[in-house]
């Protein structure tokens, strides 16, 4: 009942303050990552190379079951 009897603008203003405060850490991390141009690409490539061997057999089974054959 914190905003009972108060205007919608006051609620929106306080909500905006809370959002800004809570998103600051995320925004700071985003700026660091975006500044390192190759970081995200290399992290994705590394993850894909780790997961690909694990996923190959189940994916081949799925392809076989749906009639796409093995690749």
Q: Determine the Cα–Cα distance for residues 41 and 15; give it in Å rounded to an integer.
A: 35
Number of domains in the chain: 2
Q: Taking the model in full, what pTM does it have?
A: 0.47
What is the span of the domain harbouring residue 65? 38-71
- What is the structure's pLDDT at 71? 56
Residues 4 and 31 in one domain: yes
Residues 4 and 22 in one domain: yes
Q: What is the pLDDT of residues 24-68, one digit of tens each?
A: 999 999 999 889 979 889 999 999 999 999 999 999 999 999 998
Residues 31 and 47 in one domain: no
Instruction: Record the tokens describing residue 9, joined without a space.
Output: 């603008």
Tell which residue, 63, 60, 64, has the closest CA to residue 52.
60
8-state DSSP, 36: S
Residues 19 and 48 in one domain: no
Residues 42 and 29 in one domain: no
- What is the structure's pLDDT at 32? 92
Residues 26 and 44 in one domain: no
Residues 8 and 29 in one domain: yes
């Amino acid at each position: 009942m914190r905003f009972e009897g108060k205007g919608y603008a006051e609620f929106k203003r306080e909500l905006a303050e809370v959002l800004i405060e809570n998103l600051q850490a995320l925004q700071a991390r985003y700026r660091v990552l975006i500044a390192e141009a190759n970081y995200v690409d290399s992290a994705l490539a590394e993850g894909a190379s780790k997961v690909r061997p694990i996923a190959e057999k189940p994916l081949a089974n799925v392809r076989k079951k749906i009639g796409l054959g093995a690749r």
